[in-house]
Structure 1
Amino acid sequence: MLAATVGAVAALVTGLLAWPGGGQHASAAPATFVHPGVVLDTAQLDLVRTKVQANAEPWKSAYNQMIGSSYASLTRAAKPRATVECGSYSNPNYGCTDEREDAIAAYTDALAWYITRNAAYAQESIKLMDAWSATITAHTNSNAPLQTGWAGSSWAKAAELVKYTYTGGWPNQSRFATMLRTVYLPEIINGSNSNGNWELTMMEAATGISVFLDDKTDYDKAMATFRTRAAAYVYISADGALPKTVPSQNLNTTAKIVSYWQGQSTFVDGLTQETCRDFVHTGYGISSISHIAETSRIQGDDLYGTDIGERLRQALGFQSKYELGTAPPSWLCGGSVTRGLGPVTETGFNALHTRRGVAMTNTQTLTEQNRPAGSNNLFVAWETLTNANNPN
């Protein structure tokens, strides 16, 4: 186990990483929000539409996968609840799956509308959003913050696309905005001290909702929490002997940090706080980092040239290597990892490799091997379609 004094640990949690050449980097809301601007913008969407119309790959296969899924059904029956109750691992599951999948369906329909210009898809998305905004009042039980983050991420993407690209009318748009403001934001905006993927997912939803609501105050708050949590989720060697931590968690000894990192005591570039838990949850965290970085870039603050971009690059490469089948050494998770990263690499890979020209051999192999990337049925959906080879 690595040795460190309490004082040394405290020094690691006193602030965000001062990235070489950039100093302390503070993200802030733009003077005017870009719309659509949650994870995707107009230039990205227009490229996707053009590629699908040209029957170009991998977009065409990815589009066929999406449009052939149950999420794109034009006869989906929404299943809203006044109170969505989700315990640990969604047990009990009173509306948890229904809410998440209706939100993904609303986003799927919004994408289908943009690509096809078939108004029936926009109207279907509106139908789902209206059903929930007329009904839901609360999330309860232990998984409430995470559930709110998962569903809120998809709702924000769907609403942003429909509001700013569909001109056929959405009479209950203000009611949906009120739902996001009063039911979703209060559950997620103050973060949590749970495993890192929780807070990252919550901040993904909070930033997306804040963009939709043109809420600069909550956007800034969510981004500040995100930067602290992302720095504490992915280790890079510039952090020093130990990973960074979230100050409110009081991880002020080496033993506490090692325990929080699933018993892992050797820290290398790209290791995440949940790598030794399993790659599924690690994938959730990586995905949310990618999504928030995309939203921030669209809103005028490109984080890919900061420590966030380096953490994302290292996390993708490290997990991809072992997801592809490399046997873990004995010092890593006791020599055994639980694979299952999920469809989460396209967005980060595109941002770093396609746009910035960074070589990412393992991430590229895994990403191309898994195309077309579908949905994890929680909050990730259709990212080969939206992000593959997209320089915009």
Structure 2
Amino acid sequence: MADPDRVPPPRTARRRLARLVAAAATAVTVVCAALSSVPAIARAGSSASYPLPVIERVTSAAGFVHPGLAVSASSLERARTQVKQGAEPWASYYAAMNVTSYASATFSSRNAGPVPGRPANAAFNSQGVQSLFIDDAFRAYTQAIQYVVTGDPAYRENGLRLLRIWSHMDPAKYAYYPDAHIHSGPPLMRMLAAAELLRYTSVNPGSSGYDLRWTADDTANLTANLIVPMTQTFLYRNRNFMNQHSYSLVGAMAGYIFTDNLPRYREAVEWFSVNATNPDDHTNGALTKVMPVIARNDPRNPYGRTFVQLQEMGRDQAHAWDDVTMLTQLARVIDVQGTRLDPVRGTVSTRRDAVSPYVFGDFRLLRGSEPFFAFMTGKDVPWIDTTQRGGVLSQAYRGRLFDPTNELYHVYKELLGPALAALAPRITEVATKQDGGPRFFWGTSAYNYWNSNPDFNPDAWLSFPASAASPPTQQDALVQAETRTVPITAGASVRREDGRGFVRLNARPAGTTIAVRTLLYADRGSYSPVGVLIRTNGTATLQLRKERTLAPYHSLTLPDTHGRWRYITYDMNTSKLRGSAGGDNLAYYTIVGSPGVSVDVDAVNLQAKTQLTPPQFPQGSDVRLLAVAGEPLAAALPATDQEPLAYTAGTTLPAGARVDAGTGTLSWTPTAAQRGEYRTFVVASDPATDAVLRVRLTVSTDRRAAIAAALEGYDAAAEYVSATKAEVERTVADAEAHAGSADSATFAADLAAVQAAVANLEKLTPAMADDGSFDYWGRATSATITPVALGNMLDGDFNTFSGDLRAPAVIDYGAGFRIRADAFGLQARYNFANRSQGANVYGSNDGRTWTLLTSRETTDTSARGFALERIPVRDEAESQSFRFLKLQVDHPGVPTDPAYPGISSFSEFRIYGQRVEMSTALNGSLRIYDGHGGFTNLAEVQFLHVP
């Protein structure tokens, strides 16, 4: 019976695949002759040159091809020839690799002991040893590649010495440690890839006397002391959670290939493809399970069409990226061996209908990766929670995407040709529009693709097809709109003019939107400006959003730049943005304006704080000026800057008003006929940057009406923090006292004081719009929960959370306030209900004595869609109020990972009750929670007591 989930590949792809299979069937075992026709390549900084090593092709009795780990012999030879000839992109990738410390001809090992060829630490039982292994494995792989490319025996010696150190670990001293199954697999694959290259290449004699031959003892030691104990202790498991499965499998599979272990290899191939013996399809990390087909007629599918999704995109995009890269690495390892799979069961097969790992599951790797790339570049994609527990696509790390080797693109371009662009438009776009090659900028920092980070596949350049194109060169850290944006609505297009690429957005009242990716901001703990280089032919509004459906977190007025390129800036300071609203790496830029206005976006400057001197208005982006008909108004609106500023006014400045170009002072004497509201703006400009202050002008008939206008936003019936309400009453009294006699300047100052007092009003218990609970963001602090995370606990998103807490979380609501609650709302982080299960809320006024407030503990809400639990306060505590609240897990659930016990986290924490001010004196000590279970006395102060 035909598999209903299978989608036939394009006819051209089937023909191309048939040709590839036929070609593979004609391959025979050969030992390559010496490459005497290829000139030698000298080591950098050395005048010596060496014959290029012969790559000895061997097919073992078990059918494995060697060298055949991560890269084939033919790809190695092509890469070496292309590097020697200076051909791109190989030359650039080799050059970038060659400048890293891993490529140094000077021997280095992180685990070398005093006895040559023996480790300093022979026990593999900690993350500390793992870090040594990761570094040495990458160095060994680099040295082996250098030897193949240059023939320099120094590189061979370095690689062998590293391998021999790690091949003498003590197999009796392997012990599982936290995350060993995740982070030991990729370095084992790289260590064995190095061994493959040195084992199956000819030896160029060295001058040090070191034995450069690969011996039977090397194979035996590496197998007995590294491969077998590491695999059995850390890697041989098929029920790891999602991407963790691929991380362990890539190391285990490398070991099977190196040791010619055919039964285990066959098992591993099925674990890569289907992993049918893992009963949990929702967390299975195999290709077809972590990238399942969601059928059109699936009752859970609301989209009305069949699609492939990447399961882990519901967790966060960093882990989803791991799925893509590690499955791609595994597919390459399998494909290098020429292994073909049963098209349905995913087992090793030699039948005529068997397919490569890249084609298996009807191009499942491609079809499952495409929505990830689409979502990461700002597109909407279909996705469902297959567990039906309320999961949604996570915004975490969205837009944090780079692909310096474009492996998926190169593989499928060879397989599918022009059909790839239609099947995977976003993968194609990222690969063909990338603006950084092997050396690029990651946020504001220069980055080299060749490093030991296991989360991507830097060695893919060794397998580039002959058709690979030259890589681009990124000159600076600017995020170029031409290459790092995609249009989301109509009205946006890429243009080129005088050698400059940019995106033109034609303004519309409904908005024209692009998505900007790879926004890795600098330090956001304080003022953190981001510059956008624009050119306009009229006035428009730029709105910035994290998600298309959310309200903007910034809305900027863009002035008419009259065709000049100018910077405008916005601030990404976390104290100005609630929760993670501005914390992800993708932003939607929407241009709202009149038809006929165009806004050209050239680049986003993440280094604006050091490269620009943006003018700053002390009022922020908006100010309201109050005037009285017939009285002169002179409002000073200067901005601050390190450079001279010039000021201009918007085109909507009312008749008779003017802005001084040198000082920014707005002057106006409105007439009685000009009563009402006016909106305009003032632009402060330095040589590179514009800042816009939106101005709302209100003209009142008389001074009493102006005082009333100044009170806009004040609700006499609302309950405010007493000091802020008292300041309003004081300033109003002053203004009223002067209304009949003061001169215009004095009365204008009175109005400004009333406005400032109203702006500083603070409701005693501001309410959240979604459930009426106390909005404590900006009104509470914690030593264990960051300000951003406190915002996460009020954002209604169960994918954002408090962070992983190792101790109870204490929240301080301030020396002048206490909280009296009727109930608390606690919600688990999506997929981690066990980490908030068994929690209670406690209250305290001194940080030492705690009162249990909640009437019951939280529960495991996994089966209820991780719903928020509203838990009443105990009857005996309802009338009490507290300065400190503590979230504490008293009876934890089963740990997500037994290696990490004691982690707690909360997605939402809501307070249903009131904040109260203290009213009677009580002496005490101000004590601040230190984050380690204790409190620190800071000063003797006077507390006020609420009965």
Q: TM-score range by the shorter chain?
A: 0.7 to 0.9
Match for residue 77 of structure 1?
A: 109
| 1:224-303 aligned within 5 A | 224-228=270-274, 229-237=286-294, 241=298, 269-300=307-338, 301=340, 302-303=356-357
CA offsets per residue over residues 143-187 of structure 1, 9 Å max, x none?
A: 121133122221221111111124341243321122344222213
Identity of aligned residues (%): 22
Match of 1:349, as an amino acid? Answer: Y
Q: TM-score when scaled to structure 2? A: 0.34
SS at the partner of 2:181?
helix
Asked if the contact 1:38/1:208 (under 8 Å) is kept, the reply is yes
User: Closer, same or farther in 2 for the Cα pair 1:266/1:273, shift >3 Å?
Assistant: farther
Give the CA deviation at 1:210: 0.9
Q: Distance in 2 between matches of 1:177 and 1:166?
A: 22
| 1:117-196 aligned within 5 A | 117-137=151-171, 138-167=174-203, 168-171=212-215, 172-188=218-234, 190-196=236-242
Task: Select between 379-388 and 155-164 the one with higher mean Cα deviation.
Answer: 379-388
1:310 correspondence with 2:369: no
SS at the partner of 1:84?
coil
Q: Distance in 2 between matches of 1:66 and 1:191?
A: 33
Q: Which runs of 5+ in 1 are unaligned?
A: 1-14, 23-28, 87-92, 243-253, 259-264
Q: Distance in 2 between matches of 1:356 and 1:20?
A: 13
Asked if the contact 1:291/1:347 (under 8 Å) is kept, the reply is no
Asked if the contact 2:296/2:304 (under 8 Å) is kept, the reply is no
Match for residue 10 of structure 1?
A: none
Q: Distance in 2 between matches of 1:345 and 1:282?
A: 18
User: Closer, same or farther in 2 for the Cα pair 1:345/1:327, shift >3 Å?
Assistant: farther
1:319 correspondence with 2:372: yes
User: Closer, same or farther in 2 for the Cα pair 1:231/1:328, shift >3 Å?
Assistant: closer
User: Closer, same or farther in 2 for the Cα pair 1:354/1:33, shift >3 Å?
Assistant: same
Residue of structure 2 aligned with 1:220, choices 263, 266, 271: 266
Q: Distance in 1 between matches of 2:296 and 2:131?
A: 38
Q: Which runs of 5+ in 2 are unaligned?
A: 15-59, 112-118, 204-211, 275-285, 341-355, 385-390, 439-448, 469-947
Asked if the contact 1:342/1:376 (under 8 Å) is kept, the reply is no
Give the CA deviation at 1:341: 4.4
Q: Distance in 2 between matches of 1:45 and 1:277?
A: 37
Match of 1:36, as an amino acid? Answer: P
Match for residue 431 of structure 2?
A: 367
Asked if the contact 2:375/2:381 (under 8 Å) is kept, the reply is yes
Asked if the contact 1:48/1:386 (under 8 Å) is kept, the reply is yes
Q: Distance in 2 between matches of 1:335 and 1:204?
A: 26
CA offsets per residue over residues 295-334 of structure 1, 9 Å max, x none?
A: 2222222222221x62211233222223334477998945
Give the CA deviation at 1:30: 9.1
Match of 2:179, as an amino acid? Answer: N
Q: Distance in 2 between matches of 1:235 and 1:297?
A: 22
Residue of structure 2 aligned with 1:387, choices 448, 463, 472: 463
SS at the partner of 1:274?
helix
User: Closer, same or farther in 2 for the Cα pair 1:341/1:176, shift >3 Å?
Assistant: farther
Higher RCO by CA contacts (8 Å cutoff, separation 6 or greater): 1
Match of 1:388, as an amino acid? Answer: F
Asked if the contact 1:343/1:375 (under 8 Å) is kept, the reply is no
Which structure features the higher share of strand residues? 2
Asked if the contact 1:210/1:216 (under 8 Å) is kept, the reply is yes
Q: Distance in 2 between matches of 1:97 and 1:266?
A: 48
Which structure features the higher share of helix residues? 1
CA offsets per residue over residues 236-292 of structure 1, 9 Å max, x none?
A: 3459739xxxxxxxxxxx8xxx9xxxxxx9997453222132332222222222222
Q: Distance in 1 between matches of 2:4 and 2:177?
A: 32
Q: Distance in 1 between matches of 2:74 and 2:201?
A: 13
Give the CA deviation at 1:78: 3.0
Asked if the contact 1:39/1:291 (under 8 Å) is kept, the reply is yes
CA offsets per residue over residues 213-237 of structure 1, 9 Å max, x none?
A: 1110110111121112211111234
Match for residue 73 of structure 2?
A: 42
| 1:11-90 aligned within 5 A | 31-74=62-105, 75-79=107-111, 80=119, 81-86=121-126
Q: Distance in 1 between matches of 2:99 and 2:392?
A: 39
Match of 1:162, as an amino acid? Answer: L
Asked if the contact 1:65/1:374 (under 8 Å) is kept, the reply is yes
SS at the partner of 1:76?
coil
Q: Distance in 2 between matches of 1:207 and 1:287?
A: 16
Asked if the contact 1:189/1:203 (under 8 Å) is kept, the reply is yes
Q: Distance in 2 between matches of 1:46 and 1:284?
A: 29
Q: Distance in 1 between matches of 2:383 and 2:370?
A: 19
CA offsets per residue over residues 123-152 of structure 1, 9 Å max, x none?
A: 211111111111253142231211331222
User: Closer, same or farther in 2 for the Cα pair 1:208/1:166, shift >3 Å?
Assistant: farther
Q: Distance in 1 between matches of 2:142 and 2:224?
A: 22
User: Closer, same or farther in 2 for the Cα pair 1:20/1:240, shift >3 Å?
Assistant: farther
Match for residue 336 of structure 1?
A: 395
Runs of 4+ in 1 over 6 A off after TM superposition: 15-19, 265-268, 327-332
Asked if the contact 1:328/1:336 (under 8 Å) is kept, the reply is no
Q: Distance in 2 between matches of 1:134 and 1:324?
A: 46
Match for residue 657 of structure 2?
A: none
How many residues were matched structurally? 346
Task: Select between 67-76 and 183-192 the one with higher mean Cα deviation.
Answer: 183-192
Task: Select between 158-167 and 382-391 the one with higher mean Cα deviation.
Answer: 382-391
Asked if the contact 1:106/1:158 (under 8 Å) is kept, the reply is yes
User: Closer, same or farther in 2 for the Cα pair 1:212/1:39, shift >3 Å?
Assistant: same
Q: Distance in 2 between matches of 1:42 and 1:69?
A: 24
Give the CA deviation at 1:379: 6.3
Residue of structure 2 aligned with 1:349, choices 409, 430, 450: 409
Match of 1:149, as an amino acid? Answer: G
Q: Distance in 2 between matches of 1:388 and 1:207?
A: 22
Q: Distance in 1 between matches of 2:271 and 2:129?
A: 28
Match for residue 262 of structure 1?
A: none
**Bigger CA radius of gyration:** 2
Match for residue 280 of structure 2?
A: none
SS at the partner of 1:318?
helix
Q: TM-score when scaled to structure 1? A: 0.76
